[in-house]
Amino acid sequence: MIEIRNLNKTFKDKNGEVVAVKDVNLKINDGEIYGIIGYSGAGKSTLIRLLNLLEKPDSGYISINGQVIYDSEGETLKGRELNLARKGIGMIFQSFNLLDRSNVYDNIAYPLKYTGKSKEEITSRVKELLELIGLEDKINAYPSQLSGGQKQRVAIARALASNPSVLLSDEATSALDPDATESILNLLQELNEKLHLTIVIITHEMSVIKRICERVSVMENGEVVEEGDVYQIFANPQQPITKKFINSASPVGKLEQLLKDNAITYDNEKGKLVKLTFGKDSVGDAIISEISRKFNVNLNIVLANVDNLREGTLGNMVAVISGEEEKVKETIEYLESNFVRVEVIK
């Protein structure tokens, strides 16, 4: 488990102070894929870099699997001990950071060399890792001969070489095209399941969170403003910034723009524009045809989207319900009693 308590980090330079991480408290469970999302400058990178002390905190407490990494009130790792602890915490980066003058083998072998391991041990471990990332045929290639996705795979293998229990990922897919992003996310999920690897993912893309994370923190101005189960957050976001992120990852998010452009036209007197959220407890599509029959209302779908989250599917729909005022009201009540969340927009 990764435990973070009251963690603070402020950067001071000639232009003044920047509070990059402010009183952050988090618990990340073993074997979990945990997401941290936020806009540029929110402090995500700083937070993740504090975890392996690439950046030194100002105050607070960090422990990983029971080992205290930093404690402003007690002992803090340094020197040889810190280097040893870092071997238990893998890290991957947006820019891959492979050694350009080393081939794939030597890049992956980097953390294994000078640790007292024999050549044979190193070779067999490197081969094992190459198989895991599916790049056995690139063993002698140099980074300049690899695609972005392949480079990130090598970086992942290198980060996992000394068998860490935790993998920190700082925007690891941000420099990749959608296909490569998908394959890297697949690989991370596979590693998480196969090796029971705890993965902390930093991103500014909600689609990444949606795709593989179980829990998520939303960061703004150095603070965690919302935290919880990805499914719950998607189904019921609280903070404006969270809603913004969710809208960015869903066609239903286009609603605001459509309203602004007056692209949705309906009879204001007789209809109501609503946003429906179908959770995993809701009955699903059948309910739509059911209500039209039951309450004699018309349901005109404007936008719809289904998300496959790790915990289940989540449907979103923007629709105009029109009919007699009383009937529309009854329809909404009926939907709510069937675990559909209804937001009346207009």
Partner 1 sequence: MEWLKSIAPNLVAYSKNFIESCEQTFQMLLLSGIISFAIGLLLGVILTITKKDGIKPNAVIFHVLDIIVSFFRAIPFLILLIFLIPLTRSVVGTAIGVKGAILPLVFGCVPFFTRQVQAALAGVDPGKVEAAKSMGSGTVGIIFRVYLHEAVPDLIRVTVITAISLIGLTTMAGAVGAGGIGAFAINFGQGLNHTDIIYVCVALLLIIVVLLQGIGDALAKNTTNKTLVNKKYK
Ligand X SMILES: Nc1ncnc2c1ncn2[C@@H]1O[C@H](COP(=O)(O)OP(=O)(O)OP(=O)(O)O)[C@@H](O)[C@H]1O
The SS3 call for residue 62 is: strand
Q: Could you tell me how many residues of this chain bind Mg ion (CB under 5 A)?
A: 1
Pattern 83-122, ligand X, x by CB under 6 A:
----------------------------------------
Measured in residues, the chain has a length of 346
The whole-angstrom separation of Cα 209 and Cα 190 is 16
**Residues between 133 and 162 that touch partner 1 (CB under 8 A):** 139-140, 142-144, 155, 158-159, 161-162
**Residues between 23 and 52 that touch ligand X (CB under 6 A):** 38, 40-46
The whole-angstrom separation of Cα 144 and Cα 24 is 39
CB of 66 to partner 1, least distance (A): 19
CB of 182 to partner 1, least distance (A): 24
Classify residue 325 by burial, with Cβ atoms within 10 Å: 0-12, 13-18, 19+.
exposed
Binds ligand X by CB under 6 A, chosen from 18, 82, 259, 304 = 18
Task: Report the partner that residue 268 touches, choosing among partner 1, Mg ion, ligand X, none (CB closer than 5 to 8 A by kind).
Answer: none
The whole-angstrom separation of Cα 265 and Cα 268 is 9
CB of 237 to ligand X, least distance (A): 19
Per rule CB under 8 A, is residue 89 in the interface with partner 1? yes
- In this chain, which residue has its C-beta nearest to ligand X? 45
Pairing of strands 59-64, 67-71: antiparallel
Q: Which is nearer to Mg ion, 45 or 277 (CB)?
A: 45
Q: Which is nearer to partner 1, 28 or 98 (CB)?
A: 98
**Residues between 97 and 136 that touch partner 1 (CB under 8 A):** 97-103, 105-106, 110-111, 114, 123, 126
> Going by C-beta distance under 8 Å and a sequence separation of 6 or more, which residues neighbour residue 208?
35, 173, 181, 185, 201
Residue whose structure tokens are 């629709």: 319
Per rule CB under 5 A, is residue 45 in the interface with Mg ion? yes
* Rounded to 5°, angle at Cα 35 from 245 and 180: 85
Structure token pair of residue 298: 């018309």
Instruction: Give helix 148-160 / helix 178-195 axis angle, nearest 10°.
Output: 20
Classify residue 293 by burial, with Cβ atoms within 10 Å: 0-12, 13-18, 19+.
exposed
Q: Which of these, 224, 206, 215, lies nearest to 42 by C-alpha position?
A: 224
Per rule CB under 6 A, is residue 204 in the interface with ligand X? yes
The whole-angstrom separation of Cα 319 and Cα 76 is 56
Q: Could you tell me how many residues of this chain bind ligand X (CB under 6 A)?
A: 13
Binds partner 1 by CB under 8 A, chosen from 29, 67, 83, 124 = 83
Per rule CB under 6 A, is residue 57 in the interface with ligand X? no
φ, ψ (nearest 5 deg) of residue 2: -100, 125
Beta bridge partners of 2: 28, 64
CB of 252 to partner 1, least distance (A): 37
Beta bridge partners of 314: 307
Q: Which is nearer to partner 1, 117 or 329 (CB)?
A: 117
Per rule CB under 8 A, is residue 90 in the interface with partner 1? yes
Interaction site with partner 1 (CB under 8 A): 52, 54, 79-80, 83-87, 89-91, 93, 95, 97-103, 105-106, 110-111, 114, 123, 126, 139-140, 142-144, 155, 158-159, 161-162, 168
Interaction site with Mg ion (CB under 5 A): 45
Interaction site with ligand X (CB under 6 A): 11, 13, 18, 20, 38, 40-46, 204
